[in-house]
Amino acid sequence: MVEKINAEKFDELLKGEKPVVCDFYATWCGPCKMLAPVMDKVSEKFEDALFVKVDVDENMELAARYGVMSIPYVAVFKNGELAGKTLGYMTEGEAEAFVKENL
């Protein structure tokens, strides 16, 4: 299951050892709603990474920090640094390949 977090928790997780896969989304976004169950399924396949989601409307400063202009926006962070990002809806296979490529 992908945990919903805020900017403070996000910064805390980036300091940890595990890579972080973050789904930037909004409650009103249709493609974001479609992507949520996909990310839940993909998160079960990567126990060595933390999967989280951040509501861009509730965490505008965090979205601005990473240049999130459109959603859904999925980003992978390793050692506190952005390792990869993708924009828009993905199928489960596409999401799994994206995560695997960037971990």
Residues with catalytic function: 29, 32
Lookup: tokens for 56: 């861009």
Q: What is the Cα–Cα distance from 83 to 64, expressed in whole angstroms? A: 17
Q: Strand locations in 17-78, DSSP E?
A: 20-25, 50-55, 73-78
Q: What is the Cα–Cα distance from 23 to 67, expressed in whole angstroms? A: 14
